[in-house]
Structures are given as C-alpha cells and as structure tokens.
C-alpha cells in the first residue's frame, strides 16, 4: 500500500508510551462531574421535543399546529416549512434535510414530523399531542430481499441504480451497486476440490450508547449561535447545521460535550438543526434530549443484510476462488456502506480470484449511521462461516488453514490496494500458539470452540492540533475530536513522550469549532493515529521553536541545539558549553526571546494502517432452550503500537462484547405494520455483566509505516470477528450451522429442532 514511510520508532525505548496512567478525565467521570450533552443549562432555555411518525411510509396531507401553538408555555412550533430547502443540488444535504424533518412524506416509523419548544418538558410533550397530522398511508417495505423484488413499494420514490452497466431504465429500490475483485472466479471455482456456497442474513442492530442524544442550542437575530452537543464530530455538526439553516459557519460555534458513547451513531446530526431552528423561531436557547425510545426509532441503526457467499478450495485448504453477493438494507436514503462491506468481505485472505458485489437497497427504516467497522461484521460472518465449513469438511485445523490463506505484505487485497506490512498472519499465529487454542475445551455437554478473523481499513483524514507551552513547564494541548476512547490520555502521552516531560504536565482539551482548523469526525479509528501524528508533529514544531530560543539565549546557531529529555542542549562540544535549558526555563523566559511559544500541526493524515484481528470463542448451548453461554473468549489484534495498552485492551474487550451481543441477541424487530417492536432496553437486550466472561485481550504490535510510532487504529476491528466466531463455536457445539444473526434462543432452538 502506498504510504509515506513515517515510522521511525524501530527499537526506540519509550518513557511514557506503553505505560498505563490514569486517564485525565477519570476523576470527573467517577465523581459525576463530567458534563455530558444533557448536563448543560443555558439561562432562559426552553425544552424542545419532537413529534415522530407512527407510519413507516405515508404522505403528509396536512399538519395543523394551531392548538399546540396556543397552549400556554409553548414558544415555538416548527415543521418543514421552517426549514426551507437550501441544499442547492447537494443530494446528501437534501437527504439530511428530509431526515431532520419530514417534508411531503414520512419514510419510516419514528421519522421526525414537527418539533415544539416550551418552557417545560411536560408542556412540550403535551403540545406534541395537540399537533394534528393527517397522513395518507403508502405501502411500505422493511426487508431487503422484499425491497429488491419486482413490484415492491418504491421507497422515497425509488432510484435509478448507480454503478450498473448499462444503467437501468426503470426505478427500483436498489440505489447503488458496487463491485470489487480481481482474477477469474469461474476459473478459480473450476480448480477447486470443494466448493461451499451459503446464504446468510443479519438483523439490524443499534449502537446502543447509554447516553441519549442531547444538545442545547442558542441563536441570535444576527445569526451568531452556539451549540453544546454530544457528538462524535462537532465540526460536522457545524457544517451540516449551517448548511441546513443557511448560517455562516464562522458564526456558529459548536462545543462538544463529554460523549457517553457513540460507536458511529453520533457521527450524524439529528436534533441539532431542530434545536437551532426552534431557537431561531423562539429567540430563546433550546435544549433537546432524546428519550431512549426516540434513540431507537429515530437514530442509528446498522443495515440489516442478506448475503450469499461461495468459496472454493483445494484439498489442502488453499482457497482458489471466493465470490459474495451482498445486499444491505439501506434505510430510506441508501448509504448503507455496502461498498465497504464488499471491500472488507475477503480482506483477510490472499486470493487469486475474488469478486464481491454489493447492493444498497432502500427500505422504510431509519436512516442508517455507522456502527463500529460498519458493514464488516456482517460480511465477515458470512465469509468466516464458509471458511470454517470448508475447514471442517476437509478436516483441517482452523488456524492453520487460515494461516495458509492469510494475506501478507505484498498481497493484492480483494478490494484493490496491495498490502504493506500487516498483522493477519501474526494474529492467527498468536492465536494458534495461545493456551486458549491448545487447551481442550472445558468438559460439558454441547460445548464448542469457534474462531474467526476480521479486518478494518482504519482512517486518517483532516486533523488540526495546537499546543500552548506554559511558563510553569506545563503544556495545554488542544485537538478537535470528541474523546470517545481515551484519546485525551493517549495524546497527552504522545505529547509528553515527544517533549520529554511527565504525562501529568500535559492538559489535553477538546477545542470548540471556533478554536482550531477543521477536524474530521471521531470515526474510522482515526484519532489516536491522526491526532496522535499531529500531536507528535506539533510537539516537534514546539521543540524546534524552543531550540531556536535556546540558541538565541546562548548566541549559537539554531542547528547547533538539540532536544533531549525535556531540555535544549548544545548539539556537541563544538557548539559550546552551556547548561541545558528545560522546557519550563525556556518558556518562562520567552517574553525576552520573542514571545509565547506554541506548536501547531495541520494535516490530512493518509497513512492509516489497516488492522486485523483473530478471535476464539468457547460456548455452551442449552439445546432445550436455545440459550448460549460464552465460556471463554480471547481477542488477538494488531495495534501497530499500543500507546496506552489498558485502553487498547478496553477497545478489544468492548468491541468483542458488542459483537457477542449482536451475535446472540440484539436485533431490530419490525412488525408487519412496519413499526419497530422493541424500541427500548427492555426488549433490545444488550449484554450485561453476567453475559460475558472476562474477555482476554492479546495485543500484537506490527508497526504502521504511516505513523511515527507505528500506531494503527484499534477501535473498530474488535467488533468484526465475533459474529463468525460465535457462529462457528455454536456449530461446533451443536452441529447446527446458523445462517442468521442473531442466534437468539428462539432461532437457535428452532434450528436445533429442525436438524433433529
């Protein structure tokens, strides 16, 4: 893969990086002082609430808000009329507008139709009941396979499929087709000794962050505004809101609150434009907090999917060809990220002949948002199920067969690029050599072990970091990404490492949109990589400036000064004999040497290193009730370089836990009426403590050439293998190969009964 060779830390002994200090935001969090989205109050604020559609698909014939407006305490009611279409041909922004507030039609159960601001929550809720909406129901479709059939109701009018040669002449729900691969799969399958093809489905899941969406917005008559919001990307909130409301970006300052989980679900706007519009109309600040039911009905979910996968192999296990057709339910606008699924499906393997086709399909379900390695868990479930079935039928060792086929440096990936140094083989070998793999499974009935691999691209992108140096020897580090996985700690560590000062001397803050240049969203496992890289470079910028000040103080050339262990020193005896100057000394004296000292770095970080992991799961199945118990679980993953190993382990464990929840229990359940049946934690069951064993995390470090310390993003890959690992473990335990996720007790029991 073409990457700048930035990695330079080979053999470097780190002082701070690799240690496990307590996070700087830790005490705030354990004492309840950390301020999340709903914890901010603006003077005079109103409370905003959203009216949502009970229909999956309907025309809006009329909306009468007069009774709501007349209710004492109501200060503003808005409908789509209050958000004129300013998208100017930008389809993405138009979809955003429609999703924010339905226009002529509602597209899913939970679609926002109107919003109210009132002096209390209870008055706002009462006002919602007074809004009269007349709907004319339209036929709906919520299942991807149904939506692809001829004669299916066209969602949002349907679309001419993009990516088809020749382009279709008729509209359908297939909004886009994607294809990747190389070689000749027909030839590859002809060469195979064994060919296995299977169909799979996965249900939609929600990111399930515990903090509901929340914001407080205020906008003045002159267009100056502020939003305090729980988001993964406050710059994106600014971009979207200013476009939807016709504001100057510079006038809208967005401050990211502490974020109570996002996992991709808080990469998009939902209530933020509504809060601003309500504030504009009422001329008061407006606070909006979603209920849990709104979170489920109106935000987030992943695509549901229907996947067909075919793999051929020689008797020794060498894969000769792989083909997958992947259909993703893409919500009412598309954008299911099925292209990423089609790219990721076979990314773990070195394949001579491979083809993937992805279809993005419109359905009457909520607009989708990314969920941790979006698309990869579903396609990997299909791939790893078939790979395991081939292993089993050929009587091969699961790890050895995968090692034989694993991609390596120089492999042309199934999605195009040629890999640089990567860790798939290393994670497989680590798994094979680990006691979990060699130990016999603890004795018991209906127990089994499964393995699966997974891949994620990882991203970099636009990043801007600033570092102010203080006269007492401390450093104020500003970056522009909400801290979702401990990045305040990891960036502080990298700054301390580079500057040669203790970790405790760095205070890391997330700057608002008025303070730094643009920063992309906290997504794609990008922050420790990209903001880390920028932090290191900003520190080097500051060091260069400090060395220049020392040179000036000493009256020697700038290039005769070096920086070592937090001090400027003469480069050698030829440079002169001077006592080293500490950061503190240099900055304290900076008023006499040219003024304040700060380091900056702005970059489009394009050297993100791809990431691979391998998981092993041991399960027990209760064959009379279909209940699965996870007995043991181990994650092996390449971190490139683990800056804070405890947080890397935390990502591995947390991602695996989400994947296990998805594999076993979590699902959006739609009734025939097109309405979501389980919009709450009561019936959307995420794992609790007793559902999970202590998930063991094994960190491997294969440096990423694109980062000075070798960092790779680690946050997303851990959710990729669990669906496949759990399915393979259940197959080993019961002889039943599940083609559908979740493998909940009712589904699994049915499959066991059908086999018996």
Is residue 464 within 8 Å of 516, Cβ to Cβ? Answer: yes
For the bound state, the minimum distance from the C-beta of residue 444 to another protein, rounded and expressed in Å, comes to 11
H/E segment holding residue 585: helix 583-588
Nearer to another protein, 39 or 146 (CB): 39
User: Binding to another protein by residue 293, rule CB under 8 A?
Assistant: yes
Contact at 8 Å (CB) between 342 and 180? yes
Sole binder of another protein in the list 48, 56, 260, 421 (CB under 8 A): 260
Q: Calculate ∠ Cα 90-247-369, nearest 5°.
A: 50
Binds another protein by CB under 8 A, chosen from 394, 575, 589, 646: 646
Nearer CB in complex with another protein: 259/347: 259
Rounded to 5 degrees, φ, ψ at 598 are: -145, 150
- Binding another protein (rule: CB under 8 A), the pick from 4, 8, 12, 41 is 41
Nearest alpha-carbon partner for 369 in 544, 207, 482, 223 = 207
The answer to whether 377 and 659 are in contact (CB under 8 A) is: yes
- Residue 373 or 657: the one with the smaller Cβ distance to another protein is 657
How many other C-beta atoms are found inside a 10 Å radius of the C-beta of residue 595? 9
125 vs 394 by CB, closer to another protein: 125
Site for another protein in 687-726 (CB under 8 A): 687-692, 694-695
**Length reported for the chain:** 756
> Quick check: 504 binds another protein (CB under 8 A)?
no
Q: Which of 165, 222, 624, 754 binds another protein (CB under 8 A)?
A: 624
Tokens of 442: 């603890």
Interactions with another protein, residue window 145-184 (CB under 8 A) = none
Stretch of 308-316, 336-344, 388-396, 620-628 lying at the interface with another protein (CB under 8 A): 620-628
Sign of the Cα pseudo-torsion (483, 485, 488, 494, in order): negative
Report d(CA 259, CA 217) in Å as an integer. 17
Q: CA-to-CA distance for 581 and 599, rounded, in angstroms?
A: 18
Angle at 531 between CA 601 and CA 659, to 5 degrees: 165
| Residue 327 C-beta: closest distance to another protein, Å | 24
At residue 615, the 3 state secondary structure works out as strand
Site residues for another protein, 19-38, by CB under 8 A, read 20, 22-23, 25-36, 38
Nearest to another protein of 208, 473 (CB atom): 208
Compute the least distance from the CB of residue 8 to another protein, in Å. 29
Q: Is 39 in the site for another protein (CB under 8 A)?
A: yes
Tell me which stretch binds another protein (CB under 8 A): 76-84, 231-239, 434-442, 680-688.
680-688
Q: Is residue 648 within 8 Å of residue 635, measured between CB atoms? A: no
Q: Are the CB atoms for 526 and 373 separated by under 8 Å? A: no
Among 95, 203, 226, 258, binds another protein (CB under 8 A): 258
Taking CB under 8 A as the binding criterion, the range among 16-24, 309-317, 375-383, 434-442 that sits at the site for another protein is: 16-24
Cβ 507 vs Cβ 24: under 8 Å: yes
- Give least dist CB 258 to another protein, A: 6
The verdict on 657 binding another protein (CB under 8 A) reads yes
Residues contacting another protein: total by CB under 8 A = 77
Is 744 a binding residue for another protein by CB under 8 A? The answer is yes
**Alpha-carbon distance 46 to 145, whole Å?**
44
Helices then strands, counting H and E runs in the chain, come out as 21, 27
> Where is 371: in which H helix or E strand?
none
Single out the residue of 136, 669, 735, 755 in contact with another protein (rule: CB under 8 A).
669
- Least gap, CB of 607 to another protein (angstroms): 27
User: Does position 441 bind another protein by CB under 8 A?
Assistant: no
Separation of alpha carbons 327 and 379, rounded Å: 10
Residues 576-615 that bind another protein (CB under 8 A): none
Q: Which stretch binds another protein (CB under 8 A): 233-241, 257-265, 434-442, 520-528?
A: 257-265
**Residue matched to tokens 């992309």:** 520
Q: Find the binding residues for another protein in span 482-501 (CB under 8 A).
A: 484-486
């Amino acid at each position: 893969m073409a990457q700048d060779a930035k990695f330079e830390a080979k053999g470097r002994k780190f002082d701070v990086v690799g240690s496990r200090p307590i996070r700087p935001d830790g005490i705030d969090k354990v004492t309840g002082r950390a301020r999340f989205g709903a914890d901010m109050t603006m003077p005079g604020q109103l409370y905003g609430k959203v009216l949502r559609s009970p229909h999956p698909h309907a025309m809006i014939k009329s909306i009468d808000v007069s009774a709501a407006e007349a209710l004492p305490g109501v200060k503003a009611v808005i409908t789509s009329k209050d958000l004129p279409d300013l998208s100017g041909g930008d389809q993405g922004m138009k979809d955003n507008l429609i999703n924010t507030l339905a226009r002529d039609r509602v597209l899913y159960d939970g679609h926002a139709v109107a919003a109210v601001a009132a002096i209390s929550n209870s008055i706002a809720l009462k006002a919602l009941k007074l809004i009269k909406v007349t709907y004319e129901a339209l036929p709906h479709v919520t299942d991807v396979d149904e939506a692809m059939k001829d004669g299916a109701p066209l969602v949002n009018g349907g679309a001419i499929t993009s990516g088809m040669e020749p382009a279709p002449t008729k509209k359908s729900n297939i909004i886009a087709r994607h294809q990747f691969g190389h070689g000749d799969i027909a030839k590859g399958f002809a060469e195979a000794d064994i060919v296995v093809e299977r169909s799979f489905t996965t249900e939609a899941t929600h990111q399930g962050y515990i903090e509901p969406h929340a914001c407080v917005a205020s906008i003045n008559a002159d267009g100056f505004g502020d939003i305090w919001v729980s988001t993964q990307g406050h710059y994106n909130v600014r971009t979207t809101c200013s476009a939807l409301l016709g504001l100057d970006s510079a006038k809208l300052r967005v401050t990211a609150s502490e974020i109570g989980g996002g996992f991709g679900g808080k990469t998009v706007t939902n209530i933020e434009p509504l809060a601003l519009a309500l504030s504009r109309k009422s001329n008061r600040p407006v606070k909006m907090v979603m209920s849990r039911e709104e979170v489920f009905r109106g935000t987030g979910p992943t695509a549901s999917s229907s996947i067909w996968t075919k793999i051929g192999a020689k008797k020794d296990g060498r894969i000769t060809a792989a083909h997958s057709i992947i259909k993703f339910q893409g919500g009412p606008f598309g954008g299911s990220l099925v292209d990423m699924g089609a790219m990721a499906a076979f990314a773990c393997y070195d394949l001579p002949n491979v083809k993937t086709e992805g279809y993005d399909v419109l359905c009457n379900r909520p607009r989708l948002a990314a969920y941790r390695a979006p698309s990869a868990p579903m396609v990997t479930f299909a791939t790893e199920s078939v790979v395991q079935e081939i292993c089993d039928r050929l009587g091969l060792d699961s790890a050895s067969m995968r090692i034989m086929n694993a991609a390596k440096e120089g492999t042309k990936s199934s999605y195009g690029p040629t890999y640089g140094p990567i860790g798939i083989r290393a994670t497989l070998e680590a798994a094979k050599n680990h006691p979990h793999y060699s130990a016999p499974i603890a004795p018991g009935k209906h127990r089994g072990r499964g393995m699966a691999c997974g891949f994620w691209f990882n991203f970099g992108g636009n990043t801007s970091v600033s570092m102010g140096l203080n006269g007492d020897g401390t450093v104020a580090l500003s970056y522009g990404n909400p801290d979702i996985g401990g990045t305040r700690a990891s960036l502080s560590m990298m700054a301390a490492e580079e500057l040669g000062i203790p970790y405790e001397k760095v205070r890391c803050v997330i700057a608002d949109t008025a303070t730094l240049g643009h920063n992309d969203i906290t997504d794609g496992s990008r922050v420790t990589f990209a903001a880390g890289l920028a932090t290191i470079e900003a520190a080097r910028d500051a060091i260069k400036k400090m060395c220049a000040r020392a040179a000036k103080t000493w009256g020697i050339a700038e290039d005769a000064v070096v920086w070592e262990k937090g001090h400027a020193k003469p480069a050698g005896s030829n440079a002169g004999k001077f006592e080293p100057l500490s950061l503190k000394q240099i900055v304290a004296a900076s008023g006499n040497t040219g003024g304040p000292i700060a380091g900056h770095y702005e970059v489009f970080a394009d050297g993100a290193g791809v990431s691979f992991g391998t998981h092993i799961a041991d399960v027990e199945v209760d064959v009379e009730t279909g209940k699965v118990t996870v007995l043991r679980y181990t994650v092996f993953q390449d971190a490139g370089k683990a800056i804070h190993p405890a947080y890397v382990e935390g990502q591995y464990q947390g991602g695996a836990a989400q994947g296990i929840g998805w594999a076993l229990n979590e699902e959006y359940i739609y009734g025939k009426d097109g309405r979501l049946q389980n919009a709450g934690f009561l019936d959307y069951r995420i794992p609790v403590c007793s559902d999970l064993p202590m998930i063991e995390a094994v960190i491997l470090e294969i440096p990423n050439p694109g980062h000075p310390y070798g960092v790779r993003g680690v946050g997303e890959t851990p959710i990729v293998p669990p669906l496949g690992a759990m399915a393979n473990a259940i197959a080993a335990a019961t002889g039943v190969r599940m083609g559908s996720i979740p493998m909940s007790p009712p589904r699994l029991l049915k499959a066991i009964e059908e086999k018996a």
